[in-house]
Amino acid sequence: MTNAPGFPEQVNVTPIPAFNDNYIWCLHNNSHAIVVDPGDADPVLAFCRQQGLTLSAVLITHHHRDHTGGIASLSAAVKDLPVIGPRGGHISGITKSVAQGDMVKLPAIDCEFSVLEVPGHTLDHIAYVGHNALFCGDTLFAAGCGRLFEGTAEQMHRSLNKIKRLSPATAIYCTHEYTQANVKFALVVDTDNPKLQAYSEWVNTTRNNNCPTLPADLATQLAINPFLRCDNEAVAKSVSQFANTELSDEIAVFSQLRKWKDNF
């Protein structure tokens, strides 16, 4: 359990493991729980039962099945469960659609988040920001970022720039434990970065102890995550060498970096 500094005193944020490497983030006090991206209902219901919590709302970041697969069972188990997520009507079970700038109030745990639209991984992708925390689904990962399944490199780059402008104290709650593999790639791109080298050691120790590497703090990510560092000279140089051409701008660097990682 983590009690992030920006949350009300009684609120903890717990990762509920699901599938191979998903975390369903659960925000809870000692009576109520909110979950983000429940790809599977069973571990959520089990956690609520064990802790004696009433599930009070579900937040969804995008339409992929490993983020939405539990909606139907949770809605069947909990009467009138609010399910908040992207607009468009394409995700079955959403009861309230939200868009950029909307506020999401969660009175059961006394929290409030605003919505960021972050297209790139998918076109419908949104993130929830508040209490010095960001729930960003598959947009930003520790030392990496989501694949471009639907959006363009330019869209994803713009979305990551929105995240870069948040307070550096923001804790990043992403959905997958991909950190160790991401760091391996990051070290190839940004080999001489001492902060990345130190981060790599911490990640290895943490994973060897079977602990999550998340949430990730934005300040660290700004220093070590190559996908947030396309404006960095060493990263740009390394990516230009991979692409075997001079890359004219940050978007071109980002685009080639994503391609490099896709084939790594």
Build a one-symbol-per-residue string for 126-145: x at contacts with Zn ion by CB under 5 A, - elsewhere: ------------x-------
Q: Shortest Cβ distance from residue 146 to Zn ion (Å)?
A: 6
Structure letter (DSSP) for residue 138: T
C-alpha 261/C-alpha 147 separation (Å) is 9
Build a one-symbol-per-residue string for 68-107: x at contacts with Zn ion by CB under 5 A, - elsewhere: ----------------------------------------
Q: Which stretch binds Zn ion (CB under 5 A): 64-72, 183-191, 193-201, 252-260?
A: 64-72
Q: Shortest Cβ distance from residue 174 to Zn ion (Å)?
A: 11
Alpha helices in the chain (DSSP H): 41-51, 65-68, 71-77, 153-164, 179-189, 194-208, 218-224, 233-243, 250-262
DSSP H or E segment with residue 171: strand 171-174
37 sits near Zn ion (criterion: CB under 5 A):
no
64 sits near Zn ion (criterion: CB under 5 A):
yes
Nearer to Zn ion, 11 or 160 (CB): 160
CB 216 within 8 A of CB 133: no
C-alpha 85/C-alpha 192 separation (Å) is 40
Nearer to Zn ion, 32 or 64 (CB): 64
* Interface residues toward Zn ion, by CB under 5 A: 64, 138
